[in-house]
Amino acid sequence: MFEYEYPRAALAVDCVVFGLDETDLKVLLIQRKLAPFQHAWALPGGFVRLDEELDAAARRELEEEAGVSDVYLEQLYTVGTLGRDPRERVVTVAYYALAKLSDHRIRAATDAMGVGWFSLDDLPKLAFDHREIVEHAVLRLRGKVRYAPIGFELLPPRFSLTQLQKLYEMVLGTGLDKRNFRKKMLAMDLLVETDEVEQGVRHRAARLYRFDRRKYDRLTKQGFEFAM
């Protein structure tokens, strides 16, 4: 047992993991095994250990609860509303993560009972205030994807411009003009044309590109700002 002079809140982390399906932007949820909210869907997360960094705790919980690793992870905000956990005061540091659903390890790891990918407009009832956290994460993603090259974290290492555009359309919730999108994206000079093309499609195969992080870092140091 551990004793303190004043009462202390429990500290947790929760993760909103986004993944890009062929057709949809999805969120990773797990089914709770224990009360409260037993059997309800919830964000992966759990308590922070005393000797563990916050983002390490987030990654550990993702691995333990959903088998997910190697994601882009960023802190979202911290919620500590009184009564948000019926048991006791729990303050949770929320994170959002971007996973490459094209990564077969992730597909395999999350292919289990009690772990699932849900479309944003088809979420089940969520435990605690996790619904609000997801909403918040969506807004953040929407804001950030326009000013930072994080969209690429949702795509395979090699992708077509159409895939990239679809991603922006899903995240922003709007249609975009193909010619203008390509012009603007290519003009930033951050994509490298590979000599590969799409495979297994029954129409003209699209050229694949990769994101050049090196170049991005270099340009950024010179004051360049990503914008879409």
Rounded to whole angstroms, the Cα distance separating 168 from 209 reads 16
Residue 214 burial (10 A CB sphere; 0-12, 13-18, 19+):
exposed
Contacts of DNA in 131-160 (CB under 7 A) = 160
Point out which residues bind its own copies (CB under 8 A): 1-11, 47-48, 50-54, 75, 77-78, 80-82, 89, 91, 93
Q: Is 182 in the site for DNA (CB under 7 A)?
A: yes
Question: Is residue 201 part of the contact set for DNA (CB under 7 A)?
Answer: yes
Task: Please tell me whether residue 180 binds DNA under the rule CB under 7 A.
Answer: yes
**DSSP letters for 129-170:** THHHHHHHHHHHHHHHHTTSTTGGGGS-SSEEHHHHHHHHHH
204 binds DNA, rule: CB under 7 A: yes
Among DNA, its own copies, none, residue 162 binds (CB under 5-8 Å by kind): DNA
Q: Which does 201 bind (CB under 5 to 8 A by kind): DNA, its own copies, none?
A: DNA
Residue 183: phi, psi to the nearest 5?
-55, -50
Contacting residues for 158 by C-beta, under 8 A, at least 6 apart: 194, 196, 208, 209, 210
C-alpha span between 121 and 145 (Å, rounded): 19
Q: What minimum distance in Å lies between the beta carbon of 82 and its own copies?
A: 6
Least distance from DNA to the Cβ atom of residue 197, Å:
7
Residue number, 21 or 177, with CB nearest to DNA: 177
Residues that bind DNA (CB under 7 A): 160-162, 177-180, 182-184, 201-207, 227
